[in-house]
Amino acid sequence: MRKLAKLATGLKRRCPAASRNPASKRMALPAVWLMTDATRLPAPQQAIAALPREAGVIFRHYAVADRAALGAELRALCARRGLPFLVAGDVGLALALRAEGVHLPEAHIMRAGAIKRRAPQLRVTVAAHSLPALIRARAAGADAALLSPVFPTESHPGAPTLGAHRFARLARAAGLPVYALGGVNTENAARLRGSGAFGIAAIAALNPDKQG
C-alpha cells in the first residue's frame, strides 16, 4: 500500500494538470483514492485506518440499508486521520456528513456545475470512460475525473480496457486532473509514469486483506 501511494504521489508531482488547474491546488486533491465497495470491501474501516496520508476516500456503499450511519462512521474516521472524504452519488448525504465533496457517475457529469454553485465548498469528482466524457467533465467544472478501466479488473473480468498508452492520450487531452482507475496495483502502476495521470484510485490494491 505504501509503495502504491509513493508511485501515485510521483505521478501527481509530474502531472501537468496539477499546475494548470487552480482547483487541484485549492482543494489539495490527494494522490490516491480508496473506492469503498459493498461487495469487494464490505467493511472498509481497516482499509481506511491503513491508508497513507496521501490518500482520500470515496464512499460508494450505495445499496446498504444503513448507508447514512456507515457514512457517518467512515467520515469520522477520515476526519480523525485528516483524509478527504467524498460521498458517491448523493449531494444531500455529502452535505449532511460535512464531507469534502461528492463523486458523480458518468451519466451525471453535467450536474457538477450546479452542485458547485449550490455548495461551493464541495469538490466534485466524476467517473469517465472516454474522451467525450472527460471533455464534459471539464466543461461542467469538475475538479477531477476518474478514468477507467485502465487495466483488467476483478469487478469486470474480460471487459475491454484502455491500457497505459490510451489512458495517457486521454489524460493529456482532458484539461483537468485525471486519476487512473481499474486494476491499478503496485505491479502495473509504474507503467503510468509520464502518462499525465494525477494519481490512482483503487479498491483491492488498497485493501490490507489483499496485501501479501
pLDDT in tens, the chain (212 residues): 678 877 778 787 777 665 455 544 445 799 999 999 999 999 999 999 999 999 999 999 998 999 999 999 999 999 999 999 999 999 999 999 999 999 999 999 999 999 999 999 999 999 999 999 999 999 999 999 999 999 998 777 778 999 999 999 999 999 999 999 999 999 999 999 999 999 999 999 998 886 54
**Structure confidence at residue 17 (pLDDT):** 64
**Cell triple for 126:** 466524476
DSSP lists the bridge partners of residue 145 as: 126, 178
Where do we find the cell 476526519? 79
pLDDT of residue 13: 74
The dihedral built from the CA positions of residue 55, 28, 6 and 131, taken in this order, carries a sign that is positive
pTM over 0.95: no
What is the per-residue pLDDT for 8?
Answer: 78
Block residue for cell numbers 489483499: 210
Cis peptide bond N-terminal to 42, omega within 30:
no
Report d(CA 111, CA 71) in Å as an integer.
22
**188 burial level (CB within 10 Å; 0-12, 13-18, 19+):** middle
